[in-house]
Amino acid sequence: MRKTLVLSAAVTALLLPNCSTSQKVPLPKLDRALKSELVTWLDANALPPEEYVISKFRNHDIVFLGENHRIRHDPVLVQNLIPLLYRAGVRNLGIEFATAASQREIDSLLTGPVYDPDLAGKIFWDAWPWWGYQEYIDILRAAWRLNSTLPGDSPRFRVVGLNARMYWRHMWSQEDRNDPEIRKMIFPDGPSDQVMAETIRREILAHGEKALVYCGHNHAYTRYQQPNYDVEQGVLKGLTSDRTGNLIYREIGDRAFLIILHSPWPSATGYDDPEVYPADGVIDAVFAGLPPEKRRAGFDVINSPFGRLPAATSYWSHATDDFRLDMYCDGWIYQKPLSQYEGVTVVPGWFNEGNRLQAIEQLANPDPRVKNRDRTVESLTEALASDTDLTTRFARFH
């Protein structure tokens, strides 16, 4: 989740008009030899996404599944994976979207005789009120459904809340965020990535178990280090090496595996500019030429011809002069063209008069808190829904 100083559309929709463009960005024309190599490799090695994820647990203990956020088919994939994980002997799913502090409530929900949607909603609300999306909350329902079918003496499937608690109401400026005493109030558990890594160690690795970890791709990076690149000056100011996946990878090495879920990437010219195709559009172009029955696949990036793909159009390429896709991740899942993506569903009645002010207090950007305390329930709901408008956001893509 983007709990940074500048919130994405959940805040900007309250303040700014929609500024996306519908002009299509063409797919690249592929060199015939490259296209043949990639398609031949897919024919021989690609698997259905569910089967691909499960296959990675044969040789790995922690499989990170990194997403862009709010893309409907991604949390639905995770829901569908739960019974398959269990059958494969993997009994843990770590999620960014619930806190470690809520673990007792999560365990109680998933082992209860009846599924409690109110408790499920509370678990997500307590993590962040601006994540009231049905498909994510239904991950808990899918885990409960599996557990309700298991014999009494069978171990239960666990969903592990990974994240730190964050109380944004204490931050009113960047200076507040940098003040050690105020930071303790904002982040009482510590920094998000460190807390998530420590929770994986404590709840999963310390017990000799395996887990699928589902989170935003920025948290999931293992070998890759995010660049801090000044696009105006053309200077790489540093690399981020303390994301959750980085920390776990340093501890367990290649026992960790990173799969990226297909989505647009930020532009090489900066986050404020329109997004671009990942890997310069080669993956999208390859799948556009495949028959429909082959357009849903998981496949290795590492040790495959896909690993050599560049990404000159993307911000991620600023991490190194010779960026290749195999520096970024180990595997990839493609499910459909970007133009067909749908957003997740806002939970009906998520905001109400009783929780309206609490939701505003938890905006990660202080300005909307000051300017929008009189916002109605309806306008807050519209802001939450605006983040799910992928038809507009991805209108540029084929």
According to the model, what pLDDT value does residue 3 have?
A: 36
Nearest Cα residue to 233 out of 270, 186, 283: 270
- Rounded to whole angstroms, the Cα distance separating 124 from 130 reads 9
Q: How far is CA 100 from CA 126, 162, 194, 285, 297, in A?
A: 11, 5, 12, 41, 32
Q: How confident is the model at residue 371 (pLDDT cuts 50, 70, 90)?
A: confident
Confirm if 278 and 314 have CB atoms less than 8 A apart.
yes
Residue with structure tokens 């808990």? Answer: 140
- Rounded to whole angstroms, the Cα distance separating 303 from 305 reads 7
Neighbours of 29 (CB within 10 A): 9
Residues 6+ apart with CB under 8 A from 319: 224, 225, 226, 227, 236, 239, 327
- Rounded to whole angstroms, the Cα distance separating 351 from 304 reads 47
Q: Which domains does the chain have, with CATH numbers?
A: 9-393 (3.40.50.11550)
Q: How confident is the model at residue 22 (pLDDT cuts 50, 70, 90)?
A: low
Residue with structure tokens 């990878």? Answer: 249
Q: Which DSSP state fits 280? A: G
Angle, alpha carbons 150-155-159 (nearest 5°): 95
Predicted structure pTM score:
0.94
Torsion angles phi and psi, residue 26, rounded to 5: -65, 150
Length of the chain: 398
Q: Per-residue pLDDT tens for 316-370?
A: 999 999 999 999 999 999 999 999 999 999 999 999 999 999 999 999 888 877 7
Q: Quick one: residue 366, left, alpha or beta (phi over 0 = left, psi -120 to 50 = alpha)?
A: alpha
According to the model, what pLDDT value does residue 273 have?
A: 96
Q: Is the pLDDT of residue 147 over 90?
A: yes
Neighbours of 319 (CB within 10 A): 20
Q: What mean pLDDT value characterizes the chain?
A: 93
According to the model, what pLDDT value does residue 263 have?
A: 98
Residue 137 identity? I
Residue with structure tokens 């999208």? Answer: 284
Nearest Cα residue to 326 out of 308, 313, 341, 314: 308
Q: Which of these ranges, 2-11, 131-140, 322-331, has the smallest mean pLDDT?
A: 2-11
Starting at the edge strand found earlier in the chain, the sheet holding 256-261 runs: 158-163, 92-99, 211-216, 62-67, 256-261, 331-334, 297-300
DSSP secondary structure, 2-31, as one string: --SSS--HHHHHHHS------PPPPPPPPP
Q: How far is CA 145 from CA 74, 109, 210, 214, 373, in A?
A: 19, 11, 21, 19, 39
Average pLDDT on 63-90 reads 98
Confirm if 127 and 97 have CB atoms less than 8 A apart.
yes
Residues 6+ apart with CB under 8 A from 229: 235, 236, 237, 315, 318
Q: Which of these ranges, 106-110, 122-126, 357-361, has the smallest mean pLDDT?
A: 357-361
Nearest Cα residue to 266 out of 196, 217, 322: 217
Torsion angles phi and psi, residue 110, rounded to 5: -75, -15
Nearest Cα residue to 164 out of 186, 140, 133: 186
Q: Is the pLDDT of residue 14 over 90?
A: no
- Rounded to whole angstroms, the Cα distance separating 49 from 268 reads 29
Q: How confident is the model at residue 2 (pLDDT cuts 50, 70, 90)?
A: very low
* CA 186 to chain CA mean position, Å: 22
